[in-house]
Amino acid sequence: MIEFFKWIGNVMLRLIFGAIGIFAMNAIFQAVSMDMVVGINLETMATIGLLGVPGFVLLYAITYCVNDA
């Protein structure tokens, strides 16, 4: 049961830092006039919460591919 709460705590930390990271990256991309904005919503937070940094990179990779097309 303790491991479950550790896992939930880990996911919550990823959610918080993921939202801060998305906010920061969106600000950086807008400052250099790049159109790569990832929204902060349930789907993006679930992706980052479950996958962590690879999920963060995945979201921006998908955004890059969609905007490039």
Whether the predicted pLDDT of 35 surpasses 90: no
The one-letter amino acid code at 65 reads C
How many distinct helices (H) and strands (E) make up the chain? 3, 0
Encode pLDDT of 9-24 as tens digits.
999 999 999 999 999 9
Flag whether the pTM goes above 0.95.
no
C-alpha 19/C-alpha 7 separation (Å) is 18
Q: Is the dihedral of CA 58, 64, 68, 69 positive or negative?
A: positive
